[in-house]
Amino acid sequence: MQRLSASCLLLALAASVAYSAVILDNGAPIMWAQTAAQVSDLPVQNDIVSPNPWNFLHRMSFYRLVIAATDPFMGSMGTGATESPLWGLPLQFGWMLTSGRLADPTGATTCGLPTGDTMCISPLSWWGCVSHFTSVLPFLSAAQQGLLGQGVKVQMQAPEGTEGYCTTYADCSASYADVMAKWDAFFQGLQAPTDSPLPDNEKKDSILGLYWDANMASLHAAAAACSAKQSTYSAPEVTFASSWLNSAEYVSAANFQSSLEKSVMFLTPLPGRILQEGDHAPNISDMTQEENHTLSVFAWMNSMNTALNGSLVRMWRRVMCSVTTREKGREMLEQLLLNPGFATGTFLSIITGTSGC
């Protein structure tokens, strides 16, 4: 693996200046071609794979390796090469990099900054911390389940001067048993015999259900473990982070198929820089109409759920109780987030006016 190429550095710098989310490079996630194509491309010490998850290329490599290992089991997702729901994770991770969210938020170091180590992920970054739970933990689970090769052992390098990040399968299982159990269940479910008589849409729905159970377990654990790291961010950024987490509740309940194409549509309108004091959507002057719209919708969904004591999420989950309603739910989320003409009131009325299954 190489360090950041000149072209990719320009992309990252452009994103930091123009405040426009950059998540693709030649049709793939940012710097995908520079990541490890096989496990042996990662550092190895004493026959143990020992990557540094605080290096962007190493962490992005986890996604590339797991996607390649699981693709043979993703036939129910569709015939394309990028239909796996796992594609949403590296695209989201790339957005975190180009929007500056993986850098040291305290300003005490140049970690992640254009003037420092551009591949550095700061252990003090809330976003970097959350990403740890959706990259390192599934990678360790995939290795444990034999997807990366029989007998492959992994020991993550620990960040200097920082505690609280698990580094092995046993370590993560001891600290986050529910998270690791659900990633194990996902990878085991993928590898189970596929001679089921169920229709393809139900097979797909089952796999997506296992995936989102694991993904949400990671996010819920991250929300608790990483919360103290929000203290160095502006109030608008903290609010956005909360809204971002809350939005995952709706996406997961609908068993959204976060393929590369679908994920690009949902991630491109995310804010291309860290929010600052005084940023109030939909009137942030240096952000696009799409970014302002997304921030407004996220804030509305979060505020409505808070005002209703969490019942908006509960109502949505109650409605998303069958394969058919989840398919309709995915269409509704696309309208809400991507169509500025789709009124939030319409979304609310549909949820409250549907009794469920």
Q: How many domains does the chain have?
A: 2
Q: How big is the chain, counted in residues?
A: 357
Whether residue 4 is found in the same domain as residue 75: yes
pLDDT at residue 208, as a whole number = 96
- Residue 204 within a domain: no
Identify the domain containing residue 286 by its residue range. Answer: 233-357
Whether residue 176 is found in the same domain as residue 256: no
pLDDT at residue 93, as a whole number = 98
Whether residue 132 is found in the same domain as residue 238: no
pLDDT at residue 154, as a whole number = 98
Rounded to a whole number of angstroms, the distance between the first and last alpha carbons of the chain is 50
pLDDT at residue 165, as a whole number = 95
Task: Look up the pTM and report it.
Answer: 0.91
Whether residue 192 is found in the same domain as residue 281: no
- Residue 203 within a domain: no
pLDDT at residue 17, as a whole number = 39
- Residue 110 within a domain: yes
pLDDT at residue 16, as a whole number = 38
pLDDT at residue 194, as a whole number = 66
Whether residue 163 is found in the same domain as residue 267: no
- Residue 89 within a domain: yes
Question: 248-285 burial, b for 16+ CB within 10 Å, e for fewer?
Answer: bbbbbbbbbbbbbebbbebbbbbbbbbbeeebebeebe
β-strand partners of 45 = 48
- Residue 340 within a domain: yes
Whether residue 155 is found in the same domain as residue 178: yes
Whether residue 255 is found in the same domain as residue 162: no
pLDDT at residue 357, as a whole number = 72
Q: Each residue of 158-183: pLDDT tens digit?
A: 988 778 899 999 999 999 999 999 99
pLDDT at residue 144, as a whole number = 97
Whether residue 238 is found in the same domain as residue 216: no
Whether residue 139 is found in the same domain as residue 155: yes
Whether residue 222 is found in the same domain as residue 338: no
- Residue 201 within a domain: no
Whether residue 170 is found in the same domain as residue 93: yes
Whether residue 174 is found in the same domain as residue 306: no
- Residue 244 within a domain: yes
Q: Each residue of 221-230: pLDDT tens digit?
A: 999 999 999 9
Residue ranges in the chain whose pLDDT is less than 50: 2-19
- Residue 59 within a domain: yes
